[in-house]
A = this chain, B = another copy of it.
Amino acid sequence: MERNFAVILGVLGKPSDRFMSVGYKTSSPTVFERIQTAARIPLVKGVELIEGAGDDIHPGNKQAVKSALDEAGLELAAVNPNLWGEVQWGRGTVSAPEAAIRRMAVDRIKTAMDLAAELGCGYVGIWPGQDGYDYLLEADYQKMYAWWVEGIQQAADHLPQVRLGLEYKPYEPRAHSFIDSATKALLLLRDIDRPNVGMTFDVGHALYLHENLGEVVALAQREGRLFNVDLNDNFGDWDWDLNFGSAHLYEFIEMLYWIKRTGFSGWYSADLFAYRTDAARSVEESLSWLNAMQDFVDRTSLEQFDRLLEAGDPNEVSRFFRSALFPA
């Protein structure tokens, strides 16, 4: 399996939430400091950057940031427009109720695509966290669906060589995200119908929707739509963005089997909120877990996994895991 391990650079910054709005940490490192930190984390080969005037990368610093990445020996894995944290996006982006906002959002995606292409990066992640609804009778679901299809088609056609990844999430910050599940995303991708548009798969989002990670990969890869994997973990109840590997194990191993079987070769990006832990250590632990799990799946032949599926006997699976983790 490919070991394209990255970190979303904001993970190394200063996290806040609705209660601790001043932030959980006392310092707020610059993008250049965070690049230095990322470079020191074992296993990290690339970074994802947020594009925006107040964010990681923008016209005013793009060359300096690219130079810093080059010096640090880090690849640019993705350039993601900030579609969630600027006040104009409060009620949505590509499916906002106001037409002017929707146009701005599509333009913004194009801007990020241009910037990515300019910097030699072929990927733009789209997480439309503000698109959805909080209350009943607040939104017109058919219009929202149509806006997503049209908007993303326009963006996709702007630069066909840049790939766009839609990231679904059940909810938060909206009480209902519009693109809220793997199959909603896949349905939408059918209607968008562009080869350069696929899925960014945040494993934590699937876990708290009680989707099965392996099944998400299997279904997305039926159509070749798995473009990117975001790493974190939770207890199945909310998007805690804990260290990857801190809560689940077997689900991740099954997911890696499907990744191996279907030949995914994109980036795995640590996407955590290290509110109360050392962020660099949390990233290191997360990637070390992924690495160990990949080693395990690579040591196990695809045939052995296939035999388990073929047998369909949960007791055999139980013995398989137990003998691997707790050898006599």
Taking Cβ atoms with an 8 Å cutoff, the residues of A that contact B are: 15-26, 84-87, 89-91, 97, 129-130, 134-142, 145, 170-173, 175-176, 181, 183-184, 186-187, 190, 210, 212, 214-215, 218-219, 222, 234-238, 240, 242-243, 245-247, 249-251, 254, 257-258, 273, 275-278, 281-282, 284-285, 288-289, 292-293, 295-296, 305, 308-310, 312-315, 317-320, 322, 325-326
| In contact, B137 and A246 (Cβ under 8 angstroms) | no
| In contact, A85 and B136 (Cβ under 8 angstroms) | no
Partner of A87, one of B26, B129, B317: B26
Q: Is the interface of A mostly helix, strand, loop or mixed?
A: loop
| In contact, A17 and B251 (Cβ under 8 angstroms) | no
Closest CB in chain B relative to A308 CB, distance in Å: 5
Partner of A138, one of B16, B87, B296, B317: B317
| In contact, A322 and B292 (Cβ under 8 angstroms) | yes
Q: Which residue of B lies closest to A328 (CB)?
A: B292
Contacts known (A90-B24, A247-B250, A315-B285); A222 close to B142, Cβ less than 8 A = yes
Partner of A309, one of B139, B212, B247, B314: B139
Specify which chain B residues have a CB less than 8 angstroms from the CB of A295 in the assembled complex: 326
The complex is assembled from copies of this chain, and their number is 4
Q: Which residue of B lies closest to A135 (CB)?
A: B314
| In contact, B84 and A175 (Cβ under 8 angstroms) | no
Most chain B beta-carbon contacts within 10 A, residue among A139, A187, A234, A251: A187
Closest CB in chain B relative to A236 CB, distance in Å: 4
Specify which chain B residues have a CB less than 8 angstroms from the CB of A309 in the assembled complex: 137-140
Closest CB in chain B relative to A42 CB, distance in Å: 13
Specify which chain B residues have a CB less than 8 angstroms from the CB of A19 in the assembled complex: 84-85, 129-130, 173
What is the bound-complex CA distance between A15 and B18, given in angstroms?
A: 7
Specify which chain B residues have a CB less than 8 angstroms from the CB of A325 in the assembled complex: 249, 292, 325
| In contact, A238 and B172 (Cβ under 8 angstroms) | yes
| In contact, B90 and A276 (Cβ under 8 angstroms) | yes
| In contact, A254 and B137 (Cβ under 8 angstroms) | yes
Q: Which residue of B lies closest to A222 (CB)?
A: B142
| In contact, B250 and A145 (Cβ under 8 angstroms) | no
Specify which chain B residues have a CB less than 8 angstroms from the CB of A258 in the assembled complex: 141
What is the bound-complex CA distance between A249 and B137, given in angstroms?
A: 13
| In contact, B277 and A315 (Cβ under 8 angstroms) | yes
Contacts known (A135-B314, A137-B254, A278-B315); A173 close to B20, Cβ less than 8 A = yes
| In contact, A134 and B240 (Cβ under 8 angstroms) | yes
| In contact, A21 and B85 (Cβ under 8 angstroms) | yes
| In contact, A322 and B171 (Cβ under 8 angstroms) | no
| In contact, B137 and A212 (Cβ under 8 angstroms) | no
| In contact, A22 and B86 (Cβ under 8 angstroms) | yes
Specify which chain B residues have a CB less than 8 angstroms from the CB of A218 in the assembled complex: 140-142, 145
Partner of A17, one of B18, B142, B215, B235: B18
What is the bound-complex CA distance between A246 and B289, given in angstroms?
A: 19
What is the bound-complex CA distance between A34 and B171, given in angstroms?
A: 30
| In contact, B237 and A171 (Cβ under 8 angstroms) | yes
Q: Which residue of B lies closest to A21 (CB)?
A: B16
